[in-house]
Structure 1
């Protein structure tokens, strides 16, 4: 599909370039040949004037009324020699040769530019296809598990009340996971399509950090993880709700992949017109092979980091950072922990 589109786009580039080139060549040819004819005509008149002993200035008009009386009868005569005709033919051949070269270069350049133009579209389409396929797979797996467990329970004639409650509890957990997945999918899709509609205004980063800390604290206490907050405060131009979600994603990941009794630090400070957020943990870390891919949709690292998530959180967090014209860096050592450093501009870009 894209090969055909590339050929068509190249043809359009070629048509546009050659139309412009041939138009300019036509103008150049007409203008140049007219000047040649005038020059040749002037030479004829000057030669005739010399033969008749009539003095002429260095430059003179070719209009009959401006010429001396004895040259007026000569002025209407229009004479083109073979030399002039040959000169015009050579000019035409040279222009055609130049246009031939432009045609070849335009074809090569057009093919290259068409590829460059279509590449982002092709990548976006492939990413969309992969996104749909991955989303379908992620939805199908828990749904299949729900269906199977319910079918088995339905056929079990000896199912007790306790077992039924256990099954319902398990089903509710699966439904909560599916709800989280669909919410993240909708949020990510909304940010991709309508990111510009975020409510950007001056917000206090300390309030955002404190609010997020209160949400993540119960999870940390459940694993006896110490979460330390060091926020210098300050105002930042951004969308409050999406910033809270972004910080919560990083903290949730830190809690999820930090063993019991571990530590998590969240620090904020200002540096060179930017707000810096650093989330550091003493968790299991991320391997070098996985680091380049952790922000990809539905990407999940090795089994040691498989905690029932869907691989959308970090992709969503990165998109929020991008919409705030920020950047994120990650440093990690397996068995030692991970540090995420987010930099956001304090003022609108």
Structure 2
């Protein structure tokens, strides 16, 4: 330390006599240590700041990567929860109908035979619900969604119309030969849901239990018209939400039709039918021209 008590840095190096090689003296250098101390403090500060920045960057990167990696898992979990909610909501009614019919039949004089038609209808509805739920799960999972191949749309619609249960409904059909590129299984579900919706809500004012249907295939479009109370086009988004269908519908029928249409680069629209009723139009992508 100097006379003022401040630290100084000293460096002494001996020098030698040329003739005798004996120590002749020493060269002493005096330096201020403040410059080295400032550089040391700057180095320490840089290391602290740099380490903190690297730690924060590593934490942020880990958070982003973990969020991205967990997002598919969360989406899959949400899809599973929606599917379970749909299943619980949709299967509750047919199960209750079947259970009630069996309990009534157990003590009825006519036995089970008198209640078999009701049980059969409930079983058919349950089968439709299960198929709709599986199709919805397939679409939401986006796993091999659309297996598009050339499809005779008019023949498929004709087959679905032939599968309608007999119930005294009027069915008029107009087929035009039509080829589209679509997934036959998905289109079959969509057309059947449209027909079921028309049968359920397509009764006229004088005969609410008898639906008058007109099914038309024109190009890549399927038209299903009825004589029911009609649908306000502004309410179509509401009806195509889960559980948005009133009057005892499956709740996901129209929403599933819309999802299938969008998966085929198409659309689902509704309009007022001249003379009363509603016309649902399912449009698919037309087949590509092949050379």
C-alpha contact (below 8 Å) 1:220/1:227 kept by paired residues: no
Q: Which residue of 1 aligns with 2:132?
A: 184
Q: Which residue of 2 aligns with 1:344?
A: 285
C-alpha contact (below 8 Å) 2:129/2:250 kept by paired residues: yes
Greater Cα shift, 84-93 or 173-182: 84-93
Question: 1:191 Cα deviation (Å)?
Answer: 5.7
Q: Name segments (4+ residues, structure 1) moved above 6 Å.
A: none
CA distance in 2, matches of 1:145, 1:261: 27
C-alpha contact (below 8 Å) 1:212/1:244 kept by paired residues: yes
Within a 5 Å distance, the mapping from 1:83-122 to structure 2 comes to 83=35, 86-87=38-39, 89-94=41-46, 96-97=48-49, 100=52, 118=70, 121-122=73-74
Alignment equivalent of 2:101, drawn from 135, 138, 149: 149
Q: Which has the higher helix share?
A: 1
C-alpha contact (below 8 Å) 1:250/1:279 kept by paired residues: no
CA distance in 2, matches of 1:302, 1:145: 18
Question: 1:177 Cα deviation (Å)?
Answer: 2.0
Greater Cα shift, 333-342 or 207-216: 333-342
CA distance in 2, matches of 1:154, 1:247: 38
Matched pairs, number: 246
Q: For structure 2, which runs of at least 5 residues remain unmatched after alignment?
A: 1-30, 204-210
Q: For structure 1, which runs of at least 5 residues remain unmatched after alignment?
A: 1-78, 269-275
CA distance in 1, matches of 2:188, 2:215: 17
Q: Which residue of 2 aligns with 1:136?
A: 88
1:246 and 2:185 equivalent?
Answer: no
C-alpha contact (below 8 Å) 2:170/2:212 kept by paired residues: yes
Within a 5 Å distance, the mapping from 1:34-49 to structure 2 comes to none
C-alpha contact (below 8 Å) 2:215/2:225 kept by paired residues: yes
Q: Which residue of 1 aligns with 2:116?
A: 168
Question: Quick one: structure 1 residues 312 and 86, their matched pair in 2 at CA, closer, same or farther if it must change by over 3 Å?
Answer: same
Question: 1:336 Cα deviation (Å)?
Answer: 5.2
Q: Which residue of 2 aligns with 1:209?
A: 154
Question: Quick one: structure 1 residues 120 and 172, their matched pair in 2 at CA, closer, same or farther if it must change by over 3 Å?
Answer: same
Question: Quick one: structure 1 residues 258 and 189, their matched pair in 2 at CA, closer, same or farther if it must change by over 3 Å?
Answer: same
Question: Quick one: structure 1 residues 126 and 147, their matched pair in 2 at CA, closer, same or farther if it must change by over 3 Å?
Answer: same
SS of equivalent to 2:221:
strand
1:277 and 2:221 equivalent?
Answer: yes
CA distance in 2, matches of 1:288, 1:115: 38
CA distance in 2, matches of 1:315, 1:142: 20
Question: 1:291 Cα deviation (Å)?
Answer: 1.8
Q: Which has the higher strand share?
A: 2
CA distance in 2, matches of 1:220, 1:154: 27
1:294 and 2:240 equivalent?
Answer: yes
